[in-house]
Structure 1
Amino acid sequence: MTVQQTSHTVPCRSAGPPLDVVEWRVCRLREVGFPVALAEALARQRVDLHALLQLVDAGCPPELAARILSPVDDPRATR
């Protein structure tokens, strides 16, 4: 597997109290290259974060990974 390196890496670990789960999910998605708005939207949805990260790690663009794993009940999803 390859790891996508980004120039805007955001550390998801903090020396202080634990991060909020949604904030942590946004941070992890941003680390692998998801745009801010998409990362924030996905972090609040019922999307498998690990599956998203695996798809991107395998070379799938973040936007396509999000479409592949978007929930069926998402009103933006095409049927």
Structure 2
Amino acid sequence: MPDGEGSQWVIEAEGRGASATNSLWAHQVKNGQVLTFRKPGFWGIWRTTIQIGYLEDLDPGDRVVFTWNKD
């Protein structure tokens, strides 16, 4: 998860039913960054599955929850 100011964090949720959280301050989502979701595929090789941008459309106090329903 990039903060748009030069830092980024890997958020990992391992295994069925696992969850992980992190957050950004309101000013950190207005920098044009993109969230990248990755998962291990064949032979455990990590691949990008989706990228989500336009975080600047979020308002202070907004919460976004992503649920991985199916592989």
Fold match, TM over 0.5?
no
- Normalising by structure 1, report the TM-score: 0.25
Higher strand share: 2
- Normalising by structure 2, report the TM-score: 0.27
Higher relative contact order (CA 8 A, sep 6+): 1
